[in-house]
Structure 1
Amino acid sequence: MITPSRRRLLLAMSAALVLAACTKSSDAPAPGTDAGKAAAPTHMVIGLDDNFPPMGFRDEKNQLVGFDIDFAREAASRMGIEVEFKPIDWNAKEAELIGKRVDALWNGLTITEKRKQNIAFTQPYMTNHQIIIVKAGSPITNKAGLAGKVVGTQDGSSAVDAIEKDETTLKSMKTLKKYGDNVSVLLDLDAGRLDAAVLDEVVGRYYIAKKPDAYVVLDDNFGTEEYGVGLRKDDTALQQKLGAAIDAMKKDGKAGEISTRWFGKNIIQ
C-alpha cells in the first residue's frame, strides 16, 4: 500500500524528471539551424597534386609553391585558421577527402556534376579549358586529326572526363594513355611516344611558355570548365566561411594580384 506521503514523493520525482527532459530538449539546437551546424575548423589540411604547375608544385628548394598555394594561404589567413598542404594521390582525391585525411581539395579542381554527387564545392574562382597540344610541325591541326593517334593525359583529371564525353573522337584514337601527372605526359610528347597531349590550359600554357617554339596549341579543345575548392558535404560552416573569404579576395583585388603574379594577368572569374 502506498502511503499519502510516499505518493506525494513519487509525484514530485516524476514532475522533476519531466521538467529536466523538457529543459534538455529546449536547449538542444534544432536540425538545420546555425547552432546545429559543425563549426568551421581552426586547422585545414589541403590535399593537392604537388606536380601540377603553376597551381601547386615543388620549386628547386623542394618547397610547395604555386597559384593555388598562395590563394589558399591568403584565404586561410582571412579566415583566421592554420593551413597545411598535403600531397596526395590525385587519382584517389575524393577518397582522401571523404576519409577525412584531408579537409579540402584545392589544386585546379574542376567542378563537375559527377563530382558533385560525392563532394561539395565553393563558388568557381577560375575558368579553364582542356586544350590539345602537339609538337611543332605535327600534321595534327584539329580534333579530327587525333584519329588513329596516341594521345596522353593525366589519370584522374577532368581531362579524362572531357575526352570520354566526346565519344566520337575517343573511339577514333588509337590509344588514350593515362599518366600519373602532366609532366610525364609532356615528357612522352617530347620523346615522340605520344602524338598529342590533352591537359588543363593553365598548366599547358605555363609549360609551353618555357619552349614557345616547340609546341602548338590547337584551336579545337575539349570544352570549358570551372575550378573550385572541393569539401565534404557536411562541412557547411567551412564552405560558407571559405566562400566569403574568396569573395572578399575578388572584391578587394587580392585574388587578381595573385593571379597576375603567376599568369601575367588577372584571370580570376
Structure 2
Amino acid sequence: MKKLIALFLLLTMVVGLAACGSTGNNETDDQSQDESDLAYVEGNGKLIIGYTDYAPMNYTDESGTFTGFDTELATLVSEKLGLEPQFVEINWDTKEVELNAKSIDCIWNGLTISDERKATMEVTQPYIKNAQVVVVKEGTEYEDTSSLIGKNIAAEQGSAGETTIQGDDNLKQASYIPKTLQTEALMEVKAGTADAAVLDLTLANTMTGEGTNYKDITIVDKLAEENYGVAFRKGSDISEEVNKIFDELVADGTMAKLAEKYGLDLAQ
C-alpha cells in the first residue's frame, strides 16, 4: 500500500512539473508574439535592409563604392534609430517572403507604394516621386503605346513596370519579356531583343542618354506617376518611427539636399 501511495505521489509531481514547464513555454511564446518589431531589431542591434542593384537608389559606383539615395538615407535613419545598417541584396520577386521570414527587416529600394503592397506590408509615407516610362532606341518610331502592339517589351518581374504593362490595353498586346532586374530589361533594348522597356523614371534618367552606357536609348513616354516608400513587416512599429525621422529630415533640409545630389524629386 505504501508503495502504491509513493508511486501515486511521484506521478503527481511529474505531471505538476510538466504542467509548470508547459506554462512557462507558453508565456515565453506569448512574449515573443507580443514583442514589437522595433524591439526585435533593437535586440539585434541592426536593421537588415533588403535591396537590389538599382541606380540611383542603391548601386555600386565606378570606384567600387556602394552608394545611392536610398543607401545614404537608410544609413542616416538607421543611425538615428541607434541601429547598424546591414544591406542584403535580394531577389525582388521574393522580397515579401524574405521580409516575413525575417531574413531582412525592410525593403528600402525605390519601392512603389500601392494599395496591394499596403495591404500586406507596413509602408512608410511617400518620400520620392517617380513614374513609369517607356524607353526605346533612338530612331524608333513611337507615337504612343499602340506603337508597341505585337512588339517585344521588357520589364522587371514583379515591378511597377510589369503592372503598368498589364494595365495598358495596348501593351497587353505586346510580347512581354520578364527580367530579374530593370537593368536587364534595359540591356534587352540595347541588344535589340526587345523593342522597348518600361522602367522607373529615376533609373532611366540616371542610366540612359549622353555620358552613359546606354547613350542611344531614350525616354519616349511617361505612363504612370507614383511615389516611393519603405516597406516593413505588416503591423511593424518601425514604420511610424521612420516617418518621424523623415519629417525631421525634410524640415531641416537634409532630404532635399540628398535628393538634389541624385537628381530626384521629393514627394509632396
1:201 and 2:201 are equivalent in the alignment? yes
Between the aligned partners of 2:67 and 2:113, the Cα distance in structure 1 is 23
Q: 1:74 aligns with which of 50, 73, 76?
A: 76
Shift of residue 94, structure 1, vs aligned partner: 0.5
Residue pair 2:128, 2:265 contacting (<8 A) in 1 also: no
Compute the TM-score of the two structures, normalised by the length of structure 1.
0.80
Structure 2 unpaired stretches of 5+: 1-33
Q: 2:122 aligns with which of 113, 120, 123?
A: 120
Residue pair 2:165, 2:172 contacting (<8 A) in 1 also: no
Residue pair 2:154, 2:177 contacting (<8 A) in 1 also: yes
Residue pair 2:146, 2:171 contacting (<8 A) in 1 also: no
2:110 is matched with: 108
1:97 and 2:99 are equivalent in the alignment? yes
Alignment of 1:223-262 (within 5 A): 223-236=224-237, 238-262=238-262
2:172 is matched with: 171
| Post-superposition CA distance 1:138-177 (Å, at most 9, x none) | 01232111111100111121111122122x123321x110
| Post-superposition CA distance 1:219-255 (Å, at most 9, x none) | 3x3311110000011322x111111111111111101
Shift of residue 39, structure 1, vs aligned partner: 4.1
1:86 is matched with: 88
Q: 2:50 aligns with which of 47, 51, 71?
A: 47
AA aligned opposite 1:46? I
SS in 1 for 2:242: helix
Residue pair 1:111, 1:226 contacting (<8 A) in 2 also: yes
Percent identical = 30
1:132 and 2:140 are equivalent in the alignment? no
- Classify 1:266/1:118 alpha carbon distance in 2 versus 1 (closer, same or farther; 3 Å): closer
Shift of residue 63, structure 1, vs aligned partner: 3.7
Residue pair 1:259, 1:268 contacting (<8 A) in 2 also: no
Shift of residue 67, structure 1, vs aligned partner: 0.9
Residue pair 1:126, 1:268 contacting (<8 A) in 2 also: yes
Shift of residue 184, structure 1, vs aligned partner: 1.6
AA aligned opposite 1:142? D
AA aligned opposite 2:68? G
Shift of residue 213, structure 1, vs aligned partner: 5.3
- Classify 1:262/1:38 alpha carbon distance in 2 versus 1 (closer, same or farther; 3 Å): closer
2:161 is matched with: 159
Alignment of 1:8-23 (within 5 A): none
Residue pair 1:130, 1:199 contacting (<8 A) in 2 also: yes
Residue pair 2:157, 2:179 contacting (<8 A) in 1 also: yes
Q: 1:150 aligns with which of 142, 147, 152?
A: 152
Pairwise CA RMSD: 2.0
1:27 is matched with: none
AA aligned opposite 1:218? V
Shift of residue 119, structure 1, vs aligned partner: 0.6
